[in-house]
Amino acid sequence: MTDELPPILEAKDITKTLGSGAAEVKALKGVNFDLVPGELTLLMGPSGSGKTTLLSILGCILSPTSGSLRIAGLSTAGLDAEGMANLRRQHVGFVFQAYNLVPTLTALENVMLALDLRGAARGDAPDLAAEALAAVKLSHRESASPSKLSGGEKQRVAIARALAGSPSVILADEPTAALDAENGMAVMELLAEVAKDTKRGVLAVTHDHRTLEYADRIIRIEDGRIVGRARRKDDAALTAEGAH
Ligand code: ADP
Ligand code: MG
């Protein structure tokens, strides 16, 4: 506990109402949540419980209806759409279930494109992209197009893309859902490594209990509320509230 770093992301009393009128849904009902650098946190919960909505807010894609968010010490309060986009570009890397790679670009070019969007200097992009692909152990696949990559490799390119540009936090929404068990475990292990080696805060949504072993923390959400938290260190609590 004593060597714990201050949170890289702090969310306080976050609520989010989606839709309007009769279709109104309170997707988040007061969520308090910290992401610690150097740790992989897993977010688990049933379908419709608010996981994607929470990730979208933490990643500055959606604004909360109420509550506050700080990333790397910066508050999102009062930011307009452009301010939110800047914060997102500088500090957040996303990984999605469906990889979302550009099919006409090579693995290296996909990562370079992300660097470009983040505003990295053009001249630095090839080296930074190569570094990110090396970090996910895909240097040998730099010039492969997505159609030549396996699902696991595609997701590793997507993780490299999220890593490139050194964001403070990486948010992964069901990154293993489209993968077989073995590749899914490898991706989760990689996310845990990325958190530790680069001292980033990594949050991943998963349904797969086998991936629990890679987690430092587990958070369980139901019906827009956090209903369980556990740390890896106290396995009893993890089993009691996090892992069912
Ligand atoms: P999860 O990712 O845990 O499956 P979501 O965050 O996607 O859950 O959804 C949370 C709740 O918000 C669900 O009840 C869902 O139906 C609702 N919801 C999601 N997106 C919208 C939207 N654009 N408009 C209205 N309701 C939505
Ligand atoms: Mg979802």
Instruction: Give the domain CATH number at 144.
Output: 3.40.50.300
Note whether residue 189 is domain-resident: yes
Note whether residue 1 is domain-resident: no
pLDDT above 90: residue 169: yes
Note whether residue 178 is domain-resident: yes
Taking the CA of residue 224 as reference, the ligand 1 atom at the shortest distance is 10
Note whether residue 179 is domain-resident: yes
Note whether residue 2 is domain-resident: no
Note whether residue 221 is domain-resident: yes
Contact present, 94 and 171 (Cβ < 8 Å)? yes
Q: Is the CB of 56 under 6 A from ligand 1?
A: no
Report the domain count for the chain.
1
**pTM for the predicted model, two decimal places:** 0.92
- List the one residue out of 33, 83, 50 whose CA is nearest residue 203: 33
CA of 179 to the centre of ligand 2 (A): 16
pLDDT of 11-65, one tens digit each? 999 999 999 999 999 999 999 999 999 999 999 999 999 999 999 999 999 999 9
Note whether residue 4 is domain-resident: no
Ligand 1 atom 21: the closest Cα is on which residue?
Answer: 18
Q: What is the DSSP string of 32-84?
A: EEEE-TTEEEEEE--TTSSHHHHHHHHTTSS--SEEEEEETTEE-TT--HHHH
Pull the structure tokens for residue 41.
């946190």
pLDDT of 63-121, one tens digit each? 999 999 999 999 999 899 999 999 999 999 999 999 999 999 999 999 999 999 888 87
Taking the CA of residue 47 as reference, the ligand 1 atom at the shortest distance is 4
As residues whose CB is below 5 A from the ion ligand 2, the structure lists 51-52
Note whether residue 56 is domain-resident: yes
Half-sphere exposure of 68 (CA within 13 A, CB side): 7
Instruction: Grade residue 235 by pLDDT with cuts at 50, 70 and 90.
Output: low
Number of H helices, E strands in the chain: 7, 10
- DSSP secondary-structure letter at 98? T
| Residues of the domain holding 71 | 9-240
Higher pLDDT, 155 or 165: 155
